[in-house]
Structure 1
Amino acid sequence: MSSDVPDDATAPADRVKHVRIEDEMEQSYIDYAMSVIAGRALPDVRDGMKPVHRRILYAMHEMGVSSGSSHRKSSSIVGETMGNYHPHGDSPIYDAMVRMAQDFSMRYPLVDGQGNFGSMDGDPPAAMRYTEARMAPIAEELLADIEKDTVDFSSNYDDRLTEPDVLPAKVPGLLLNGSSGIAVGMSTNIPPHNLGELVDATVHLIDNPDATVEDLMEHVTGPDFPTGGNIVGRDAIYSAYATGRGRLRVRAEYEVDREAGQIVVTELPYQENKARIVERIADDVNDGEIEGIKDLRDESDRNGVRIVVELKRGANVDVVENRLLDHHLESTFGVINLALVDGQPQVLSLKESLQHYVEHRREVVRRRSEHDLAEAEDRAHILEGRLRALENVDDVVDLIQDSEDRDAARSGLQERFDFSEDQAAHIVRMQLGSLTSMEAAEIEDEYEDVQETIEYLRAVLDSREKLDGVIKDELREIKDEYDDERRTNVLEDEGQVTHEDLIPEEDCVVVITEDDYIKRMPVDQFDAQNRGGKGIIGADPKEGDRVSKVFRANSHDYLLCFTNQGQVYRLKTYEVPEMSRTARGKSAVNLLSLDDGEDLTAVVSTDEFGDDECITMVTRNGYVKRTSAADFENILSTGIRAASLEDGDELVDVEVTDGTTDLVIATEGGMTIRFDESEVSEMGRSARGVNGIKLEGQDRVAAMVATDESDERSLLTVTENGYGKRTLLSEYRTQSRYGKGLVDIKTDERNGRVSTAKAVTDEDHLIIMSESGQIMRIRAGDVSQVGRNTKGVTIMELAEMDRVASVTVVPAE
């Protein structure tokens, strides 16, 4: 079959390449990543500049916006940069220029800004049409000698102009102001440094190429942040300098005035937002995370930072200070000294960074010297011609006068006096007045000076030692001009002081209400009273709320908090906010992840469990279960399941037992049963448990006590109407589990139902709290010791409609 398709119609198809899509995607993404790495995100190790910063400064240089000129509108500078060198949006260009003008962002600002260039509070700068800028003097040091062929130039994005690939950089810009950026798959975060220290370290490295990082650190103490502050620990600095990576603890500068009750912050960690710090401190104070602060003021002005923290009278200053450090006044600066070396990203040590800078300066000084030498030799050549012309001044003048035009005069000079073309052209252009004897003397002096310059430049080019000497001299001149004192101090790391270290160990009373408000108070706030008193205010629950539990714990104890729904949570006693007797407390949902309808019903205070110990639990419906204490060692912040419950049942009491005790269960109806703990087998956390006591009617379990045969304590039973009694535990005989038990106390109209039962000695103290918040402390021995099946005596006088909520025991020791 013939075809009418021309032979060359298939030619484009011959140029089509078949490639795997994953290979093409991989290569394209690598090309994109390298474009971002080299063209936007990472600085060059030689001048420390990213392309956008380098282009802004070069555009200002080309515009003549130097440190000695007047300020120019920022929009003009941004427009020039964008139109000629940086083919991106005006917003990122302006943002980059703004940062170069911020004295809280740059250790040595490269732009001298006029107008609103933002603040430490995170306030944005004014629009570019309102602000003005010019180069800072130190920026000119980065551009010095750029016209002397010191660096390579490349075409700009539309091939109209050329731009420098790197700046000559008389100062080590990479470490001077640092840099930060996020590329594709990598990031850089380089802290700023003190110029004088960098110069000293660079000079030392030039003189001692084998110097170690430790040697260089004798000159470079550490990063020097523009906002001051303190770096805690020298080991972290060494790690960052030795490996190029490290984590620095940066701490605010503050003073603690104990007499005035103030903490005054005067310097903040680098790159921290001052307004946000103040706001977060205020939020933590309002949420109860930080206690002891009564007022917080930001008194900062143009002269510096000043944040005043006013402390409450009696506040633990060390605790407040530590809380502020933990959450607000100390931050981590992650050092990643990543920069471009020959166009490739590398993580660099301190020594490597300075080595690359020194090599760059050697190249710059060499090229500058070659450029200056060529110009000096050209000038010497011209001066030689002028001197020879002066020697033959009459003949030269006659020849020029007799020539028809300039070209003829130039040719005649070359033929008769053997001048070069450049010499002849220069002589033809000379004015007659330059042929005087005085002018001849000046030319001879200039010629001698040029010869000295040529000799010096040739010596520099021929000697590595002299070339390095030029670099060192220029660095020392820079130091003399711009050096200043360090702003950031380096503190020895004396170990992390934990919040717990600052909390005094003391016995506390923890109060919980039915609506799950919680607080703690020192036990010594409550003096012992006589039995039958009204007590004092110990809590002020809101309307409709009632006190449900009160218990004693040491401020450093771990608390296992059991809820009515069978969950258990863990927290330190000191995490419960300490408040006054009349305070309502803090909602427990801020400390524990409680669900709706979930209430705290039992708390076990313990530092650590023994290997053979168990958590023994009892429910309102009389179920008992034992679970190994080891199952409660790792408790999530959201809590874990302690027991499974039937509908309508709830967890009511918890004891820590060791397998050798008897359990005494008391009911609200005044019944008690005692049985051997071994009758309850150990079971997992998800188990329901076994029957412990047979309840009659509407009776429910009120409490549980662990005891043994040698126990000489009494069982204290307290009723809801404030009556109670003590009976020796030995009077409660051991029975089999799941019996009806024995009558313990009469629960008639006077007594009301049983509120709780505790095991006590005569010398123990009782802290009794009512639902309305009245609290009373008495000796247990003041409560009469009688037999079972009695009515008891008045323990606490209650107001009408008030009832006993809870009783806790403060051991005699």
Structure 2
Amino acid sequence: MYTASEKLTSANITDIMQTAYIEYSMSVIISRALPDARDGLKPVQRRVLYAMLREGLLHNRSFDKCAGVVGEVLKNYHPHGDSSVYDTLVRMAQPWVMRYPLIDPQGNFGSVDGDPPAAYRYTEARLRDIAEDLLKDIEEDTVDFVPNYKESTTEPTVLPSALPNLLMNGSTGIAVGMTTNIPPHNLDEIITATCAIIDNPRISVDDLCNIIQGPDFPTGGIISGREGILSYLKTGKGIVRTRGKAHTEEMKGGMEQIVITEIPYNVNRNTLVTRIAELVGEKEIDGIRDLRDESDENTRIVVELKRGEQAKVVINQLFQKTALESSFGVTLLALDKKRPKQMNIKELIECYIEHRRDVVTRRTKFRLREAEDRAHILEGYIIALDNLDDFVKIIRASANREEAKTRLMAKYPLSERQTDAILELRLYQLTGLERGKIEAEYIELMKLIDELRSILASETKLLELIKQELMAMKEKYTSPRRTEIVGAAGEFRMEDVVPNEGCVMTVSHLGFIKRTRVADYRSQKRGGKGVIGAETYDEDFVEHLFTASTHDFILFLTSTGQCHVKKVYDVPEGTRASKGKSVSSFLRLAEGEKIAAMICVKDFVNTLHIAMATKNGVTKKTNLADYTNATREGGLRGIKLEEGDTLVGCVLTNGENEIILISNKGQAVRFKEEDLRDQGRDTVGVTGMRFKYEGDYVKTIAVCDSVAKLLVAREDGVGKRTPFEDYRLTSRGGTGVIAIDLPEDGSVNVAGALSVGENDEVMLLTAKGQSIRCPVNGIRETGRGAKGVRLVTLEPGDKLLSIARIVETDEEQAAGAEVPDAGAAPTV
């Protein structure tokens, strides 16, 4: 039934549903799901922070129950379920979610493993100081307030936001027909970019992209390439590929384990571990022996490998088949003037600058009003103090306050507000001391009023003030970048997850190889006893030693003339005292084939050459670019050897070098590289050295350097450092001159020789595994005919086996060490 006063109208239900749905959609978009471009907060987040401020939960005060905060928010600001409020509070306190957490938690607030937080009756919280800076000056009419849902109080429509919160902490939200997904960034970079726009409003987005490197996730990780980053910075939309960090560690028994220390943003650590276990159980990933989650506050997921398994292969499988590699789809969508808008990075920052301009202007006007009002009162005080006796007489003669007020205003130029303030003065304020305070306060107030008026009158001064406040925030909350951005866009490279550091590689006589960090060998003086460099097994001994950086290429030239190319990080890592792993586990070696020489290069360029020497004195030169394809499995032919001959060494040359060959019996031949023409890979070469003594053979090959010296070492630990000029330049094919004196009985031969600079350090290795690292400048320079000095003290029955020059990385250079170029002088 309906009454006559009711009016019924007919309408199309499609139109009604369309109108109702649009209104609902806009309500969700504006009032729930999307952040404001000015303060980067959704309404519920803003209400939680404001309620905590009203409750007095500041960073330097005691914690209070989260239940109280949730109740306050529900009571006054957010008429929805308590779970939405508590979930918001928890999220703003979780350091793996927020790059700069806004709430300081106490109690169980969940974990990166996906564990839920405790109920709000058990947990406590308070604001962090960074959140207080978002709320700073809110009482000074800096933002608009609107009535709350029941009109019992008011709430802010936006926070003053002294920090660009939207970009520093990011935001995510799903509205009706649109989503936002803004990653967190490094505050230092965002503030620097904001100041750059203030200084030059016409700055290009490309210039801003040079300042803002990309996302800076609280969980760290690695971003490969900047293509996706540049896309979202310029257009507001892009896909960023993130990857966790993993490294390998050697275990007892020669096995390896992979340790994951950082995971991509928004990845559940427990789910990741469970997924790896499932893949192992389903035989999707082979080679994993055990899996453990040893994480506490820091991530540490340990993946133990089966004996002989290559860590690189397993790591790549983890990246391909688990969330250890993830994509983060960025959409820079936020509310601009209550309208959803997808913006590029410059437009977002401009929204924030405009907001700060409005906030600082309103704050300045508020402070100016307050200062002018106080100055007005002080002017009345001064009039009263100048005519104190007359004021007292008028007041005493008046019947009441209103009469005194009327008579004072009639006689003196006082406003009603000034008169009321004068009548409320206490007697002690009429003393001379108080008069001086009033006058001093008035002078300071007038200076402040002039300053505030100048800010309002000058746009330049206003923007400079905004910039100064931002720089103060940057200094206060500066934080180093956690997420590393590496490599080119596209596929991840192993270099992205393997640190670039110096390492020492050793190959034993029986074919065991390993690499060890250079830092594990301490620097010692000449003649020291050294440290244990490698254990010996069943009469095995270390035959080759080589130093490089992990991101370089290493060329393995075998005794049969084959060339294999690997990355240095492919070599299994081991401790200084470990045995290492068989070369055959990652190189395809024929029966009886051994590693004869190794050199390190940054890249395969056609300006360099490889000069080789065989045991029988044959030499050959080939362009380095000819070995580019040697990275394929099985390698390539590096030199064609005659029957009974083997390769003993090789060096890099630039086409104009001089080469020196040193024989086992201490003879040396020096000749120009021009004597060797470039030959193809599968060729024999030409004669480089003939032998003076029966049974002699080439021990090593080196490149002559005018600023370096030739260090020659004997098997008994004696050596000498001699200028290359002391060795007569001849044509290739000669018998040479004496490099170092040896006993006539043939009991001691040459252990090795290499070119060294004054500031170099060398590694000495003995057959029993003793190793010592010492500076070259500790070895006295002598002439070619001298006997030399003691390089290392040997134990009975031991002998010096090889010497190599130390190669250090940029990280060690930063610590004060001089870094030679790893590719300039390869070690054999």
Question: Shorter-normalised TM-score: what interval?
Answer: 0.5 to 0.7
2:75 aligned with 1:80 = no
For the pair 1:173 / 2:168, whether they are aligned, the reply is no
Match of 1:279 in 2: 274
User: Secondary structure at the residue paired with 1:18?
Assistant: coil
- 1:228-267 equivalent positions in 2, closer than 5 A: 228-257=220-249, 261-267=256-262
Gaps of 5+ in 2: 495-828
2:212 is matched with 220
Gaps of 5+ in 1: 500-813
2: distance between equivalents of 1:9 and 1:58? 48
User: Which of these residues, 455, 464, 468, is aligned with residue 459 of structure 2?
Assistant: 464
**Shift in Å, 1:191:** 0.3
Q: Does 1:315 align with 2:309?
A: yes
1:207 equivalent in structure 2? 199
1:141 aligns with 2:133: yes
Q: Within 5 A, what are the aligned runs for 1:658-677? A: none
| Amino acid across the alignment from 1:53 | Q
Q: Is the 8 A contact 1:141 1:171 kept in 2?
A: yes
Q: For 1:502-544, what per-residue CA distance to the aligned partner results, in whole angstroms no more than 9, with x for missing partners?
A: xxxxxxxxxxxxxxxxxxxxxxxxxxxxxxxxxxxxxxxxxxx
Q: Deviations over 1:16-45 (max 9, x none)?
A: 222111011001000011111111100000
| 2:546 match | none
In the TM superposition, residue 49 of structure 1 has moved relative to its aligned partner by 0.4
TM-score of the superposed pair, with normalisation by structure 1: 0.59
2: CA distance, partners of 1:404 / 1:486? 74
Q: CA deviation at 1:218?
A: 2.3
Report how far residue 75 of structure 1 moved. Answer: 0.5
Distance 2:187 2:354 in 1: 19
1:9: Cα distance to partner? 6.2
Equivalent position of 1:809 in the other structure = none
CA contact (8 A) 1:193 1:222 kept: yes
Measure the CA separation in 1 of the matches of 2:199 and 2:293. 49
Q: Secondary structure at the match of 1:370?
A: helix
Task: Measure how far apart 1:497 and its partner are.
Answer: 6.2
Q: What do the CA deviations read for 1:637-689 (whole angstroms, capped 9, x no partner)?
A: xxxxxxxxxxxxxxxxxxxxxxxxxxxxxxxxxxxxxxxxxxxxxxxxxxxxx
Q: Does structure 1 residue 417 correspond to structure 2 residue 412?
A: yes
Structure 1 residues 476-511: Cα deviation after superposition (integer angstroms, max 9, x where no partner): 111111111111110113642699xxxxxxxxxxxx
3-state secondary structure, aligned to 1:221: coil
Distance (whole Å) between structure 2 residues aligned to residue 293 and residue 276 of structure 1: 18
Matches within 5 A, 1:744-755: none
From 396, 399, 402, the counterpart of 2:397: 402
Q: Partner amino acid for 2:102? A: L
Contact kept, 8 Å, 2:255 with 2:306, in 1: the verdict is no
Structure 1 stretch 447-456 or stretch 307-316: which is displaced more?
A: 307-316
* Correspondence for 1:389 among 384, 389, 393: 384
Give the equivalent residue in structure 2 for 1:452. 447
Distance in 1, matches of 2:82 and 2:492, equals 48
Q: How does 1:10-25 map to 2 (within 5 A)?
A: 10-13=4-7, 16-25=8-17
Cα distance in 2 for residues equivalent to 1:485 and 1:80: 36
Letter in 2 for 1:142: L
Matched, 1:372 2:371: no
If you compute each CA radius of gyration, which structure gives the higher value, 1 or 2? 1
Once the two structures are superposed, residues 568-616 of structure 1 have per-residue CA deviations (whole angstroms, 9 ceiling, x without a partner) of xxxxxxxxxxxxxxxxxxxxxxxxxxxxxxxxxxxxxxxxxxxxxxxxx
| CA contact 2:255–2:308 (8 Å) conserved in 1 | no
What residue is the counterpart of 2:94 in the other structure? 102
Q: Distance in 2 between matches of 1:77 and 1:200?
A: 35
**Among 286, 293, 301, which residue is 2:296 paired with?**
301
2:283 maps to a residue whose letter is G
- Aligned letter for 2:146? S
Distance, in Å, in 1 between the alignment partners of 2:101 and 2:170 is 11
Q: Distance in 2 between matches of 1:342 and 1:112?
A: 31
**Matching residue's letter, 1:164:** P
Q: Which amino acid aligns with 2:234?
A: A
CA distance in 2, matches of 1:359, 1:478: 18
Distance in 2 separating the partners of 1:134 and 1:313: 51
Conserved? CA contact 1:322–1:498, under 8 Å: no
CA distance in 1, matches of 2:268, 2:117: 15
**3-state SS of paired residue (1:101):** coil
Deviation of 1:260 after TM superposition, in Å, equals 5.3
Q: How far apart in 2 are the matches of 1:39 and 1:10? A: 39
Aligned position for 1:326 = 320
**Amino acid of the residue matched to residue 414 of structure 2?**
F
In 1, are the aligned partners of 2:226 and 2:489 still within 8 Å (CA)? Answer: no
Secondary structure of 2:210's aligned partner: coil
- TM-superposed CA distance for 1:226, in Å, is 0.6
Amino acid at match of 1:492: G
- The alignment status of 1:55 with 2:47, answered yes or no, reads yes
- Name the amino acid aligned to 2:388: V
CA distance in 2, matches of 1:473, 1:346: 29
Give 1:556-571 correspondences, 5 Å limit: none
Q: Helix, strand or coil for the counterpart of 2:6?
A: helix
1:291 matched residue in structure 2? 286
* Residues in 2 aligned to 1:399 and 1:494: alpha-carbon distance in whole angstroms: 86
**Structure 1 residues 282 and 9, CA, compared in 2 at 3 Å: closer, same or farther?**
closer
Task: In structure 1, give the amino acid aligned to 2:309.
Answer: A
Q: Is the 8 A contact 1:191 1:225 kept in 2?
A: yes
In the alignment, the residues of structure 1 paired with residue 306 and residue 427 of structure 2 have an alpha-carbon distance, to the nearest angstrom, of 91
CA RMSD of aligned residues (A): 1.6
- Could you tell me how far apart the structure 1 residues matched to 2:213 and 2:260 are? 24
Structure-1 separation of matches of 2:165 and 2:255 = 44
Q: Quick one: distance in 1 between partners of 2:68 and 2:321? A: 43
Amino acid at match of 1:320: V
Amino acid at match of 2:118: A
5 Å matches for 1:570-589? none
Distance 2:121 2:173 in 1: 27
| Contact 2:91 2:97 survives alignment (8 Å) | yes
Report what 2:486 is aligned to.
Answer: 491
User: SS where residue 211 of structure 2 aligns?
Assistant: coil
CA gap of 1:255–1:270, structure 2 versus 1, over 3 A, is same
Q: Secondary structure at the match of 1:490?
A: strand
Q: Deviations over 1:39-89 (max 9, x none)?
A: 110000000000000000111111111112211100000000011000000
Cα deviation per residue 1:537-576 (whole Å; 9 max; x = unaligned)?
xxxxxxxxxxxxxxxxxxxxxxxxxxxxxxxxxxxxxxxx
Question: The residue matched to 2:177 in structure 1 has which SS?
Answer: coil
Aligned position for 2:334: 339
Which of 411, 414, 430 pairs up with 2:425?
430
2:112 is matched with 120
Counterpart in 1 of 2:781?
A: none
The one-letter amino acid of 2:305's match is L
Q: Does 1:184 align with 2:184?
A: no
1:263, distance to aligned residue in structure 2 (A): 1.4
What is the Cα deviation at residue 198 of structure 1? 1.0
Q: State the match for 1:479 in structure 2.
A: 474
Which secondary structure state, in structure 2, belongs to the residue aligned with residue 217 of structure 1? helix
CA positional deviation for 1:10: 3.9
Q: Deviations over 1:201-254 (max 9, x none)?
A: 100111111112221122211111111111111111000111111110011012
Structure 1 residues 269, 497: closer, same or farther in 2, change over 3 A? closer
Q: Is this contact kept in 1: 2:224–2:492, CA < 8 A? A: no
CA distance in 1, matches of 2:448, 2:246: 55
In 1, the alpha carbon distance for the partners of 2:55 and 2:471 equals 29
